A and B are shown apart, each in its own frame.
Chain A
Amino acid sequence: MAYFARRFAFFLATLWAAVTLNFLIPRLQPGDPAEAIVSRIGGKGQAVDPAQLEAVRTMLGAPGGNLFEQYVRYLGAVFSGDFGVSYSYFPYSVTHMIGEALPWTLVLVGVTQILSFVIGTLLGTWAAYRRNTRVDSVITLGSTFVGTLPFFWIALLLIYVFAITLRWFPERGGYGGGSSPGWNWLFISDAFQHSVLPGLALLITGPIGWIIGMRNNMVQSLGEDHARLAVARGLPERRIAITYGARIAILPNVTGFAIALGSILGGTVLVETVFNYPGMGRLLLESVSNKDFPLMQAIFLFTTIGVLIANFLADILYGFLDPRVRKAENS
């Protein structure tokens, strides 16, 4: 159990660090952060509106007080889920805006990530199983090539081909004008149609890391003595590939999952922007262009926490998959 306790402690520590980072970023610039922010909102030469200043100070967590007091109050606000009021979507609260956008991203990223992992792992396993054959080269070189294509560019091309030229799928947005969000068939099928192209954009590059990782790890573990001994023992090829190859090769991929997720979310920002998809990524970018700093900060924090939770879950899963870890941490 020491392993799990340690991972949980790490989770809490990173959580604290992420919140602190979020507190520090606006304060990295010289001078009073609130005034600096308000002057940027208003543009140069305009008088600072006291009400605005107050709103920004609330977002920063402390009207007045020294840095430590600000920090304590900020922590209090974060843990009570109070991120203030969105500046660009007044009078909606930041929490409300995030609540609107979060499900879109969760579904899109969740589904594409799980699919990417499954597809990538299967293709990587296949390539390793047929290592040094044509299948292996096609999968390895093909995915290496696709991996070099810029993410958002693929998204643009998808729109160009499937939405504008072929008109198979809607070009942008999360759902059509005719439907309204809710548990009705019209909305769900509409939302699905809108999510096909963004999903595809994420799925084209998504599995690549898993393919390469799985393939290389598995080739390595199939070259190790225990796998060679399994061959000598006359075990069926398939049994060797799965139990003596894939079963071991998948472990580093599980730990890599959370790190990958961090960059996938980056990709999501790009994809959501290209498709004008109403998720967290687009909201982040909108908040940046609208200089809606409270919203922006909260989105960054939520995104980070999301990755941390995923990281923690992956660690837990790893603990169950690899008997060596639990033991090593215990002794």
Chain B
Amino acid sequence: MTLLEVDQLSVTYTPRDQPAVRAVRDVSFTISDGEFVGLLGESGCGKSTLGNALLRLLSPPARIIGGRVLFDGADLATLHTRQLRELRWTNLSTVFQSSMNSLNPVIRIREQFADTFAAHRVTDNVDTRAAELMELVSLDRRVLRAFPHELSGGMKQRVALALALALRPKLVLLDEPTTGLDVVVQRSILDRLAELRQELGFAVLFISHDLGTVLQMADRVLVMYAGEIVENRPAAELRSDPRHPYTRGLLGSYADPRQPEVRITSIPGRTPDLSVSHPGCLFAPRCPYAEDACTQTHPALLPDHGGLVRCLVAQADRLPTTPPGPLTGATVDPAFVATGGAEVASISPGIADAAGTSSAGAAGARSPNAGSGSLSAADTDEATGAGETAAILVVHDVHKRYTTRKGLRTNTVTAISGVSLALHRGRVTALVGQSGSGKTTIARLITGIERPTTGEVRFNGGGDGDGDPTRVDRLRGRALRDYRRHVQMVFQDPFAALNPTRTVAYALSRPLVNYGGLRGGAARDRAAELLESVGLFPAGQFLDKLPHQLSGGQRQRVVTARALAPDPAVLIADEPISMLDVSIRAEILELLADLVRTRRLAMLYITHDLLSARLLADEVLVLNRGELVESGPTAEVIGAPRNDYTKLLLDSIPRL
């Protein structure tokens, strides 16, 4: 039986002195009793706006400009506030993305439950009911007495989930409920959610950009692009037979790192500007199958192969039948390769077959796979060679303790204990761990921002490799600056890493001026060369742009170009793709892999994401609470983990 029916819902943002943006456009779908529906889309596609519109939580300048939201026969979009208030939470509850802010900071958790019960005239004993709910989400009942700031992010999100279930609603809307939490915590919350749904039988609308999770959890998936639903199909069918080219692209950008062969692709181009009207299909400019009609006729969401799809090519059944590679193990979708050009990443450095995982060593494991991707072949040679060369940077038995002093008490926290690692030219070492595991501290020690409490950081690339190694842990002032020309960083958030008031040319010229002694025109010419070396053509078009005029992927390329400017030997990449949209991650990974190969860089790749580590790294180090718990060739660590913590990390990845 239909629980929620959304009919032609549209939302527009009308800022005062900017053009109006049609954020959600003619969205229609239904959710049945007890159904788990996933709403999948990348940032800016309008999925959160849609969620807020369903909850009627939009605030100016966003406004519903048309359509209906029928819930049990009542139209939530137009219902009078007083009647709406009665329906809220008893019928439709929600968990927001940011667990940090979704609880009132100045009142105790218990009060937030009491508020909810009082508002809906629940007469049961608050403490009993609230304690039951705490139990549902596996929390201690003492949490009720706490203030929100006393809880961890995961605990807060559990409280938010308990709150959402407080009145036994028929539908729960979850908007990126676990984004920002550690993978292990994410996993346990999602598992609990699945169990609770079994027990209590509520329906779920699960909004997320995380394809793996959505496919694993949902019965049916809605795919959203540029404010529209482009595909609506049962999850299993969506996985095996995606019918919209965008869905195919998204599926191509995801893979399970535990598979014997891993390959991801990216979608070229960027999302359309929704403040101007487009006559044709919104995805057409990025679509490998686009035909002439696609640029003129706006497709409707029509039944197709047992689902609904908004694509003229699919509806005319002219879609190539080749399903995307990564999930089935076949080769990459040729259409993307053909049209994507430089944008396409086709990386498969991993284990070619299951046999490679256990027996063969690092280099050996790779060779059978040569030829299937440009990276893997070259990588093999490098890996073999690298094994013989001396390490360019060595971290030896490093400990880092922080001492904080408050009045007379001192408090010592151990961030890193006994970590040793070595970086080699032409090789990528991945440092994998959750937030708080100490991986960023290691980057700070290597780059000389901080000094280890004990232990050594040695750099062997200072002169021509003839002199004694540089003791990084003893550098200061001028010497530290000289050292940094050899060790550069690529940051996590490309927007934060570029000064919003400075042009690309300025950002690139600084290292050239400071380290290369270049001036004026020479620096500018070199900056242009750097831009082209990171795939930004023609460079002249980018030099005078400000960061906000670039897309996320372009910004990350600029950040990378700046790091390359002093021609460093070591590159520290701190989660360089985690802030990027899923569909463009592959292209940045490919860029990094390419740079390591062509420039013989030694790279420390810091990540929490095992998929990208699998794709990029030769060697993986797993860090837990400041200690290395496992290390070895990527294929061995991911294919046959020995440490429990590594196994836990791997188990947290959704299995498809």
State the A residues within 8 Å of B (CB). 2, 5, 132, 223-236, 239, 243-244, 247-248, 251, 321-324, 327-330
Contact = CB atoms under 8 A, between A and B. Distances in A.
Given A232-B93, A234-B88, A243 B116 contact: no
A229 B96 CA distance: 8
B119 A236 contact: yes
Given A223-B59, A233-B93, 16 more contacts: A225-B96, A228-B59, A232-B57, A232-B94, A233-B119, A233-B163, A234-B87, A234-B88, A234-B116, A239-B115, A243-B107, A323-B105, A323-B106, A323-B147, A327-B150, A330-B406
Contacts of A324: 105-106, 147, 149
Nearest to A9: B407
Contacts of A231: 57, 88
A219 to B, nearest CB: 11
A236 B85 CA distance: 8
Contacts of A223: 59
B119 A234 contact: yes
Contact of B115 (A228, A233, A248, A327): A233
Interface string B64-98: 00000000000000000000111111100110101
> Most B CB atoms within 10 A — which of A229, A248, A329?
A229
A323 B105 CA distance: 8
Interface in B83-140: 84-90, 93-94, 96, 98, 101-107, 111, 115-116, 118-120
12 contacts: A2-B407, A5-B407, A224-B101, A229-B96, A229-B103, A231-B57, A232-B55, A233-B163, A234-B116, A234-B119, A235-B116, A235-B119
A247 B88 contact: no
B108 to A, nearest CB: 8
Interface of B: 55, 57, 59-60, 84-90, 93-94, 96, 98, 101-107, 111, 115-116, 118-120, 147, 149-150, 160, 163, 406-407
Contact of A232 (B89, B98, B150): B89
A232 B88 contact: yes
A327 B147 contact: yes
Contacts of B87: 234
A230 B104 contact: yes
Shortest beta-carbon contacts, A-B, top 8: A234-B88, A225-B101, A225-B102, A323-B147, A235-B119, A226-B104, A234-B85, A234-B89
A313 to B, nearest CB: 20
Contacts of A327: 147, 149-150
A322 B120 CA distance: 28
Contacts of B89: 232-234
B492 to A, nearest CB: 23
B48 to A, nearest CB: 12
B33 to A, nearest CB: 21
Contacts of A321: 106
A225 B48 CA distance: 13
A223 B60 CA distance: 11
Nearest to A239: B115
A111 to B, nearest CB: 29
B147 A234 contact: no
Contact of A247 (B57, B94, B98, B106): B106
A248 B105 contact: yes
Contact of B120 (A232, A234, A323, A330): A234
A229 B94 contact: yes
B115 A230 contact: yes
B102 A243 contact: no
Given A2-B406, A239-B119, A226 B149 contact: no
Contacts of A234: 84-90, 116, 119-120
B185 to A, nearest CB: 19
Contacts of A5: 407
B104 A228 contact: no
B101 A235 contact: no
> Most B CB atoms within 10 A — which of A5, A251, A324, A330?
A324
Contacts of A248: 104-106
A226 B90 contact: no
Contacts of B55: 232
A319 to B, nearest CB: 13
A2 B150 CA distance: 17
Nearest to B102: A225
A235 B106 contact: no
Contacts of A322: 106
A243 B101 contact: no
A236 B104 CA distance: 15
B81 to A, nearest CB: 8
A244 B116 CA distance: 13
Contacts of A244: 104
A227 B98 CA distance: 13
A242 B19 CA distance: 36
B195 to A, nearest CB: 24
> Most A CB atoms within 10 A — which of B88, B90, B115?
B115
Given A233-B89, A234-B90, A327-B149, A243 B115 contact: yes
Contacts of B107: 243, 247
> Most B CB atoms within 10 A — which of A323, A328, A330?
A323
Contact of A132 (B60, B94, B106): B60
B115 to A, nearest CB: 6
Nearest to B99: A225
A235 B98 contact: no
Contact of A229 (B102, B111, B149, B406): B102
A114 B642 CA distance: 68
> Most B CB atoms within 10 A — which of A2, A232, A328?
A232
A31 to B, nearest CB: 45
A226 B94 contact: no
A243 B108 CA distance: 12
A251 B105 CA distance: 12
A239 B160 CA distance: 19
A232 B89 CA distance: 7
A229 B320 CA distance: 45
B148 to A, nearest CB: 8
A233 B120 CA distance: 9
Contacts of B90: 234
A178 B579 CA distance: 79
Contacts of A239: 115, 118-119
Contacts of A329: 406
Nearest to B95: A229
A5 B120 CA distance: 43
A227 B57 CA distance: 10
> Most B CB atoms within 10 A — which of A233, A244, A323?
A233
B261 to A, nearest CB: 42
A206 B160 CA distance: 41
A243 B114 CA distance: 13
Contact of B101 (A132, A226, A251, A328): A226
Nearest to B55: A232
Contacts of B105: 226, 248, 323-324
Nearest to B60: A132
B106 to A, nearest CB: 6
Contacts of B84: 234
Contacts of A230: 104, 115
Contacts of A233: 88-89, 93, 115-116, 119, 163
Contacts of B120: 234
Given A235-B119, A239-B115, A243-B107, A225 B60 contact: no
Contact of A235 (B86, B96, B115): B115
